[in-house]
């Protein structure tokens, strides 16, 4: 007798079979915690079924684009899974975008519909499918019914992410089904999320947090979602839910450390604080390790190669206390991504030689939406050009020295803003810093530092000017220092240098001099 085996799921190379299996396997386990409500995996499956049916009734299927415009809450993950089930292409859109910005995205991708949180408006001219935070009672055979949804083929597009650059028009970054499956495996390996974990996600789910939430659901973990980040609420959730894993940006870590010191708080359940968008300063790290322990891991990546290209591990962070230069590193290449530094002609450079950072991974983007030329320009052969300038040391640690469009040219000399920022952040009393070039009649551009002082610190501008004299070459030193209450951030949590430059460059057509 020959046995007939069911579809293995893992072999098809697409997303939906993986999540269909996870929802069934973890049925009664905790899946999502939201405010005072707890959802099991069966609850999630029922909500996904209802939303997927509604999408199908609208005629949505493979390769159709569906905007996912959801505020933080269960709807972000449920909408994602429902879009996946019908094989459509997810276009996540941040609710922080203006109506005009959302309209531009809708016009570019021509969506079949938009899956929208109840309290948010729908883009003009787009069919609305409302999704709320209410839980749906599981119906009999919900998992068998979900098996009736076929999803998409491995080479089909799975998502279009509009990148969050600080300059220029965001590009629609297309990822395939099989590319995002490979990306999930990289997350599983590098993020260390397992079924026993409780994740706390407080950053916008339309960005990195949403992907981490989906990794949690794939692994059978519990995902606690908050509307926004607040240090006191963060502490309350950690203590009430036994949170083990969270994602943050450095500005959040700064606020958490200050809160923990003020309240004499030392969390005991947290084992991983994954952070990205920028490096952490040595001063903040030392204080953070005292309060939180060796739990910090930095990631470096791009929307075109999501979340994991390199990692500065927990052990690296501890070692950096003795080897301070390590904190200037973005870490080493992860298991599923290769990193190289290349010259302008594409030649791979040796260690300690500055060039453009390039990446190669099975989850590099499949293209830019409606921009074939822009896509081709981002590659040297099969290496993705990041636009970041840096070098690899002999041990394989990547050091970023600038973005190509962040270079300051002062008196004909190239000044890498990241190098200056690191020197400024090392000055005692500096909580955060950003460095830009501002117009100068003689040098073209002058190095200008914008800093945030720690509470109670005075005379910081003078201190920064004095101390960087011994740490930076003359042409790299800040010529002026501006002290501000806080640095402006983009909606993606990065320092908004475009806003900082605007105050100095005004309506000039060029942002260089």
Residue 482's CATH number:
3.30.300.30
Residue 174 in 3-state DSSP?
Answer: strand
Residue 253 in 3-state DSSP?
Answer: helix
* Lowest mean per-residue pLDDT among 14-23, 93-102, 423-432, 503-512: 503-512
Domain boundary among 176, 209, 234: 176
Q: How many CB atoms lie within 10 A of CB 494?
A: 18
Q: Which residues are CB-neighbours of 46 under 8 A, at least 6 positions away?
A: 136, 137, 138, 139, 142
The structure tokens 């001219």 sit at 125
Buried (b) or exposed (e) across 290-316, using 16+ Cβ within 10 A?
eebbebbbbbbbbbbbbbbbbbbebeb
Lookup: tokens for 299: 């990631």
453 belongs to a structural domain: yes
How many whole angstroms separate alpha carbon 319 and alpha carbon 162?
Answer: 36
Task: Mark out the alpha helices in 309-467 (DSSP H runs).
Answer: 314-319, 372-377, 417-425, 460-467
The answer to whether 146 and 20 are in contact (CB under 8 A) is yes
How many whole angstroms separate alpha carbon 298 and alpha carbon 399?
Answer: 13
Q: Please say if the pLDDT value at position 403 is more than 90.
A: no
Q: Which residues are CB-neighbours of 350 under 8 A, at least 6 positions away?
A: none
- In whole angstroms, how far apart are CA 479 and each of 37, 410, 453, 500? 54, 11, 18, 16
The whole-number average pLDDT for the span 118-132 is: 92
CATH classification of the domain holding 21: 3.40.50.980
Q: For residue range 281-299, what is the model confidence (pLDDT) as tens digits?
A: 778 888 999 899 999 999 9
Q: For residue range 170-218, what is the model confidence (pLDDT) as tens digits?
A: 789 999 999 999 999 999 999 999 999 999 999 889 889 999 999 999 9
The pLDDT of residue 511:
42
DSSP-derived pairing of the beta strands 383-392 and 398-403: antiparallel
Quickly state the pLDDT bin for 226 (edges 50, 70, 90). very high
Which residue range(s) make up the domain with 443?
A: 407-505
Give me the number of domains the chain comprises: 2
The pLDDT of residue 163:
75
Domain boundary among 141, 157, 176: 176
The whole-number average pLDDT for the span 297-302 is: 93
161 belongs to a structural domain: yes
Buried (b) or exposed (e) across 223-237, using 16+ Cβ within 10 A?
bbbbeebebeebbeb
114 belongs to a structural domain: yes
The answer to whether 166 and 75 are in contact (CB under 8 A) is no
Q: What percent of the chain has pLDDT over 70?
A: 92
Domain boundary among 176, 207, 230: 176
Quickly state the pLDDT bin for 84 (edges 50, 70, 90). very high
The pLDDT of residue 143:
96
The chain-wide mean pLDDT, for the chain, equals 89
The pLDDT of residue 11:
43
Quickly state the pLDDT bin for 166 (edges 50, 70, 90). very low
DSSP-derived pairing of the beta strands 222-225 and 245-248: unpaired
Q: Please say if the pLDDT value at position 2 is more than 50.
A: no
120 belongs to a structural domain: yes
Q: What is the largest CA-CA distance in the chain?
A: 87
Q: Please say if the pLDDT value at position 507 is more than 70.
A: no
The whole-number average pLDDT for the span 144-149 is: 96
How many whole angstroms separate alpha carbon 111 and alpha carbon 227?
Answer: 26
Quickly state the pLDDT bin for 245 (edges 50, 70, 90). very high
Q: For residue range 448-472, what is the model confidence (pLDDT) as tens digits?
A: 999 999 999 999 999 999 999 888 8
* Lowest mean per-residue pLDDT among 76-90, 282-296, 319-333, 489-503: 489-503
* Lowest mean per-residue pLDDT among 45-59, 337-351, 368-382, 487-501: 487-501
448 belongs to a structural domain: yes
The structure tokens 């320009």 sit at 377
84 belongs to a structural domain: yes
155 belongs to a structural domain: yes
Q: What percent of the chain has pLDDT over 90?
A: 69
341 belongs to a structural domain: no
The structure tokens 């948010």 sit at 120
* Lowest mean per-residue pLDDT among 79-88, 272-281, 335-344: 272-281
Q: Left, alpha or beta for 387 (phi > 0: left; psi -120 to 50: alpha)? A: left
Q: Please say if the pLDDT value at position 510 is more than 60.
A: no
């Amino acid at each position: 007798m020959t046995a007939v085996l069911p579809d293995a799921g893992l072999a098809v190379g697409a997303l939906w079979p993986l999540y269909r299996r996870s929802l069934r396997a973890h049925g009664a386990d905790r899946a999502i915690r939201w405010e005072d409500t707890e959802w099991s995996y069966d609850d999630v499956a029922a909500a996904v079924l209802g939303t997927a049916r509604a999408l199908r009734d609208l005629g949505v299927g493979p390769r159709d684009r569906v905007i996912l415009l959801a505020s933080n809450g269960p709807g972000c993950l449920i909408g994602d899974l429902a879009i996946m089930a019908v094989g459509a292409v997810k276009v996540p859109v941040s609710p922080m975008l203006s109506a005009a910005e959302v309209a531009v995205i809708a016009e570019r991708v021509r969506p079949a519909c938009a899956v929208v949180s109840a309290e948010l408006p729908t883009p003009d001219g787009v069919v609305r499918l409302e999704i709320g935070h209410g839980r749906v009672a599981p119906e009999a055979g919900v998992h068998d019914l979900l098996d009736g949804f076929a999803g998409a083929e491995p080479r089909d597009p799975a998502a279009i992410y509009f990148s969050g650059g600080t300059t220029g028009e965001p590009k629609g970054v297309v990822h395939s089904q099989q590319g995002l499956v490979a990306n999930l495996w990289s997350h599983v390996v590098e993020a260390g999320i397992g079924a026993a974990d409780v994740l706390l996600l407080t950053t916008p789910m339309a960005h990195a947090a949403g992907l981490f939430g989906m990794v949690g659901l794939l692994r059978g973990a519990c995902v606690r979602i908050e509307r926004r980040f607040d240090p006191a609420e963060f502490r309350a959730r950690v203590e009430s839910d036994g949170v083990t894993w969270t994602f943050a940006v450095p500005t959040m870590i700064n606020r958490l450390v200050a809160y923990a010191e003020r309240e004499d708080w030392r969390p005991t359940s947290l084992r991983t604080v994954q952070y990205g968008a920028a490096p952490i300063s040595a001063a903040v790290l030392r204080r953070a390790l005292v309060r939180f322990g060796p739990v910090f891991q930095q990631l470096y990546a791009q929307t075109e190669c999501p979340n994991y290209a390199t990692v500065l591990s927990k052990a690296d962070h501890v070692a950096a206390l003795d080897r301070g230069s390590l904190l200037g590193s973005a870490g080493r290449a992860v298991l599923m991504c290769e990193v190289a530094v290349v010259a302008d002609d594409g030649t791979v450079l040796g260690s300690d030689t500055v060039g453009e950072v390039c990446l190669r991974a099975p989850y590099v983007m499949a293209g830019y939406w409606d921009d074939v030329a822009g896509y081709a320009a981002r590659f040297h052969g099969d290496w993705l050009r990041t636009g970041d300038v840096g070098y690899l040391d002999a041990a394989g640690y990547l050091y970023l020295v600038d973005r190509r469009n962040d270079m300051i040219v002062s008196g004909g000399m190239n000044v890498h803003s990241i190098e200056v920022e690191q020197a400024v952040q090392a000055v005692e009393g500096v909580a955060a810093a950003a460095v830009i070039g501002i117009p100068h009649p003689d040098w073209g551009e002058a190095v200008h530092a914008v800093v945030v002082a720690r509470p109670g610190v005075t005379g910081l501008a003078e201190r920064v000017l004095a101390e960087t004299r011994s740490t930076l070459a003359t042409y790299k030193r800040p010529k002026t220092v501006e002290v501000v209450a806080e640095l402006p951030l983009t909606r993606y949590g990065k320092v908004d240098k475009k806003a900082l430059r605007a105050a100095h460059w005004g309506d000039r057509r060029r942002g260089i001099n």
